[in-house]
Amino acid sequence: MNETNDKPLLHIEKMEVVYHNVLTAVQGISIEVRENQIVALLGTNGAGKTTTLRAVSGFLGIDDAKVTEGLIRFRGDEIQNRPPHLITQKGIVLVPEQDKVFDNLTVEENLQVSASVRKDRTSRENSYDFIFNYFAVLASVRNRLGGYLSGGERQMLSISTALLCNPLLLLVDELSLGLAPIIVEELMNLLKTIRTEQGFTVLLVEQNALGALGIADYGYVMENGRIVFDGDPNRLRSHQDIQEFYLGQGERETRKSYREVKQYRRTRRWYG
């Protein structure tokens, strides 16, 4: 596992999440995120990544779901099944997969909405300078409506509004979704720079393993609601199945179908 001596900032312990009292989407996963790390949670569509972020950010209730087993600890405090506003107050901020920006507000108005919810935090007050410093392109479209932004600009605005909430832990759901590879790379690198300069921690959910592992300090791979593999980025990148199914580097002739790999996984577990 993700080993160092200090206690994790976020510790998900054997968490199970159930939708509508019947559908178990996450089955006993454990994840550790240490201060100032970028941890990637990888997996294909339907693996349970968004559900995990909803559990951490407190937004499960909206979808009629609950943490039914296990714990989520943030700085030692249990936060599972707590309401989102209390979790946000602790410094956990989500950049969601969808509905990230207000389409009918300008870039600047979107930023103002976020800035206005920061009551108790004094640093960076009334200033978007540090945002425009990182995302110069946003400055150039500051009067444009959210609905007219490009995919990359939308993502930048979404990250920016989250940053204005002064996160201790930033949860990012599919930064790469729908973006060209070059934009993804640029955004990932920028996220890492901002993390380092502003000093916060990131849990990054991604289907794009290559992009995420490029900046992550540690990674977990999720399948069907379980963590099937974890390790440092080099270890994950060198794993054959991950190369084939997440990084697209498998040899064509020998490339197995996704189902075959699942079959293989059933008979030979990556770890218990």
Ligand X SMILES: Nc1ncnc2c1ncn2[C@@H]1O[C@H](COP(=O)(O)OP(=O)(O)O)[C@@H](O)[C@H]1O
Binding region for ligand X (CB under 6 A): 19, 23, 25, 43, 45-51, 63
- Quote the least distance from Cβ 48 to Mg ion, whole Å: 8
For ligand X, the closer of residues 18 and 215 by Cβ is 18
Q: Which amino acid is at 96?
A: P
Cα(236)–Cα(219) distance, integer angstroms: 7
Least separation in angstroms between residue 162's CB and Mg ion is 17
What separation, in Å, do the N-terminal and C-terminal C-alpha atoms of the chain show? Answer: 12
48 binds, among Mg ion, ligand X, none (CB under 5 to 8 A by kind): ligand X
Query: In the complex, what is the shortest distance from the CB of residue 24 to ligand X, in angstroms, rounded to a whole number?
Result: 9
Tell the smallest beta-carbon distance from residue 231 to Mg ion (Å).
22
Residue placing its CB nearer to ligand X in the complex, 48 or 211: 48
Q: Which is nearer to ligand X, 51 or 158 (CB)?
A: 51
Q: Which of residues 46-105 bind Mg ion (CB under 5 A)?
A: 50
Nearest Cα residue to 102 out of 94, 115, 113, 92: 113
- The listed partner (ligand X, Mg ion, none) that binds 43, CB under 5 to 8 Å by sort, is ligand X
Instruction: Give dist(CA 8, CA 147) in Å, integer.
Output: 38
Closer residue to ligand X in complex, CB, 46/147: 46
- The overall longest dimension of the chain from CA atoms, in Å, is 59
Q: How far is the CB of 25 from Mg ion (least distance, A)?
A: 11
Binds 180, which of ligand X, Mg ion, none (CB < 5 to 8 A, cut-off by type)? none
Residue closer to ligand X by CB (options 43, 146) is 43
The SS3 call for residue 146 is helix
How far is residue 229 from each of residues 43, 99, 131, 156, 220, measured CA to CA in Å?
10, 31, 35, 30, 6
Q: What are the structure tokens assigned to 224, written together? A: 């069907």
Identity of the residue numbered 168: L
- The DSSP code for 257 is P
- Pairwise CA distance, residues 186 & 204, whole Å: 15
* Binding site partner of 19, from Mg ion, ligand X, none, Cβ cut-off 5-8 A by kind: ligand X
- Residues near Mg ion (CB under 5 A) are 50
